Structure formats: C-alpha cells, structure tokens
Amino acid sequence: MNKLTKRLNFRLTEEEYVLLEKYCSATVRSKNDVLRELIRTLKRKMSDD
C-alpha cells in the first residue's frame, strides 16, 4: 500500500456534505475511504478515453 503523504481540504455545499455523510453511513465507510475510491475511478475513466 502507498504511504499517505498528501492532505487535501476542500469545501462542499450542505447538500453535498449530507449526501456524503448518508453514503458513508449506508456503506459503513469513512469519508476518506469513499473519496479516495472516487479519485481512483478518475484514473480508470481517463484510461477509457
């Protein structure tokens, strides 16, 4: 596993935050885990082009 060395902060609307919270709760996953997975999907999407 790669060492986590970078930190990212960003702003969300209340609606986006609530959606993320609900998704994390429903999947029993952390926000960090969900967001890292989303970022990994970008790599796959870019290679599909």
Counting beta carbons within 10 angstroms of the beta carbon of residue 20, is it exposed (0 to 12), middle (13 to 18) or buried (19 or more)?
middle
Q: Which pTM was predicted?
A: 0.78
> For the segment 1-49, what is each residue's pLDDT rounded down to a tens digit?
678 899 999 999 999 999 999 999 999 999 999 999 999 999 888 887 6
The domain segmentation of the chain, as residue ranges, is 14-48
Q: Where are the beta strands (DSSP E) in the chain?
A: none
Distance in angstroms (rounded) separating the CA atoms of residues 11 and 5: 20
> For the segment 8-21, what is each residue's pLDDT rounded down to a tens digit?
999 999 999 999 99
CB 34, CB 27: distance < 8 Å: yes
**What integer pLDDT is reported at residue 43 of this predicted model?**
85
